Amino acid sequence: MPNSQMTPGIQSGRLSAEAYQENFSDLHPPYEPHEAAVAADRCYFCYDAPCTTACPTDIDIPMFIRQIQTGTPEEAAKTIFSQNILGGMCARVCPTETLCEEVCVREVAEGKPVEIGRLQRYATDKLMNSGKHPFSRADVTGKKVAVIGAGPAGLSCAHRLSMYGHDVDLFDARSKAGGLNEFGIATYKSVDGFAAREVDWLLQIGGISLKTGKSLGNGLSIDQLTTAYDAVFLGIGLAGVNALRAEGVDKDGVSDAVDFISTLRQAEDMSTIPVGRNVVVIGGGMTAVDAAVQSKLLGSENVTIAYRRGRDQMGASGFEQDLAASAGVRILENAQPVKVHGNGAVQEVEFEYTETTSDGLRGTGETFRLPADQLLKAIGQTLGETPEGIILEGGKIAVSDAGRTSVNNVWAGGDCATGGDDLTVTAVAEGRDAAEDIHQSLMG
């Protein structure tokens, strides 16, 4: 974490070993078999299931729940994986409360939905823990595809292409595959190295060669790739970070929330992670909540999320906001940072109250200060460098419904492309759908 180690208030080892273990345990413990059976019995198995319609990957949810109910969870897992090969991770991190579970008939009638996410985890864990891979490759086609970015979109695309018999070179800038799943989510949402284990399991399909430490602009170019491969898929995510427009953001103790979360995700011992006594997080999305909650779990005394608009406009779901509140995080709305105070290191953050008018958001002129020895910025990410020859739209790669870009034989999907909502499950769907279109294109 840059600009943090010189700040006296940012320290490691604030808690006991037992506290760290408890704080960073599984957010939603897995079902036992009898619990899964009881939960599955609550499903009405709707014919026109609204839950399936709400799922970005179109999983046949009534089907897989019935398979759990009849005692065949591995068959349920195959139903899930046929649509979403990263169904294990999505069961852990997908905001089911605003997707499939929100429209569950049980939720509408009783206020308590079938716990679809936990049932999905039960089924996928059963199959993955057996060591089996549910799919095999078709006959090799002789076609070769480059997939740039080994995050959810890239992994989904690579797996589907390999299943059709195409050879895939999967590139990633980091030393490990997984993308957001490996580096960008709260540790308590995916424990015990699940993201890495899921990648290893996915690669069992064969035909995928993982090449780390390479990215566009670092050993790879669009021209080179389109010459060497029959097709190219870009799942490069969002590598840049929006700048915070406030005076003094270059002080020690100010860093990006994505870096903070990445450091946490890769730490083997949470007691080695330094955290401030008073932490302020700027932003309103899930990254802000993940950074804030984990700061509290690391032993910070006071953690505040400050968002410039109202809570109803926060990118984080109501569930995530409630999770933050239950962890002791304060959510401060209608407040935008204007200055970071301190002699070399952050000591206070000055805010201005905001209001929404007919002309948009504006400051009221009334200011206040919050004490802070650590300031984390979670105000959104950007594409970074534009791939050569690629047309952008709204700061992202412009794509068709099938993921085709402005360059012939180049597709894109996930956070880097237009049309998504920056969710793991959506990235998986876009990678899968692009693979289908690539396959049709390659096979004429």
| Same fold? 33-129, 241-377 | no
pLDDT value for 422: 81
> How confident is the model over 92-119, as pLDDT tens digits?
999 999 999 999 999 999 999 999 999 9
Q: Look at residues 144, 50, 55, 52 and name the one whose alpha carbon lies nearest to residue 94.
A: 55
Tell me the two tokens of residue 76.
């349920």
Give 386's pLDDT tier (boundaries 50, 70, 90): confident
Token duo for residue 251: 């002080």
Judge residue 388's burial from the number of C-beta atoms within 10 Å of its C-beta, 0-12 exposed, 13-18 middle, 19 or more buried: exposed
Buried-state track 312-332, b at ≥16 Cβ within 10 A, e below 16: eebbbbeebbebbeebebebb
Global pTM exceeds 0.75: yes
Average pLDDT of the residues of the chain = 95
Contact 319/95 with Cβ under 8 angstroms?
yes
Q: Determine the pLDDT at residue 2.
A: 43
Nearest CA to 349 among 366, 365, 370, 367?
Answer: 370
Which tens digits make up the pLDDT trace of 324-342?
999 999 999 999 999 999 9
Could you tell me if 108 and 51 are in contact, meaning their C-beta atoms sit under 8 angstroms apart? no
Distance CA(376)–CA(363), nearest Å, equals 22
Question: What is the structure's pLDDT at 384?
Answer: 83
Task: Give 6's pLDDT tier (boundaries 50, 70, 90).
Answer: low
Report the DSSP pairing between strands 254-256 and 374-377. parallel
Residue in 84, 164, 85, 221 with CA at minimum distance from that of residue 442: 164
| Beta-bridge partners for 392 | 397
Rounded to 5°, angle at Cα 219 from 215 and 225:
80
Distance CA 65, CA 114 (A): 10
pLDDT of residue 318: 92
Q: What is the mean pLDDT of residues 359-367?
A: 94
In which band, very low, low, confident or very high, does the pLDDT at 5 lie, cut at 50, 70 and 90?
Answer: very low
Decide if domain 33-129 falls under CATH 3.40.50.720.
no
Domain at 144-239+383-442, CATH from 3.50.50.60, 3.30.565.10, 3.40.718.10, 3.40.50.2300: 3.50.50.60
pLDDT 10s digits, 42-77: 999 999 999 999 999 999 999 999 999 999 999 999
- Write down the architecture of domain 241-377 according to CATH: 3-Layer(bba) Sandwich (3.50)
For the stretch 365-372, contacts whose Cβ atoms lie closer than 8 Å and that sit 24 or more positions apart, written own/partner, are: 367/338, 368/335, 369/341, 370/278, 370/280, 370/304, 370/306, 370/332, 371/278, 371/302, 371/347, 372/253, 372/276, 372/278, 372/279, 372/280, 372/346, 372/347, 372/348
* Residue boundaries of the structural domains of the chain: 33-129, 144-239+383-442, 241-377
In tens, the pLDDT along 10-20 reads 999 999 999 99
Q: How far apart are the first and last CA of the chain?
A: 49
Residue with tokens 């999770």: 323
Under the banding of pLDDT at 50, 70 and 90, the label for residue 314 is: very high
pLDDT tens figures, 266-297:
999 999 999 999 999 999 999 999 999 999 99
Q: Is residue 143's pLDDT more than 80?
A: yes
- Tell me the pLDDT tens digit for each residue of 402-435: 999 999 999 999 999 998 778 999 999 999 999 9
The percent of residues above 70 in pLDDT, for the chain, comes to: 99
Residue 214 has pLDDT above 50, yes or no: yes
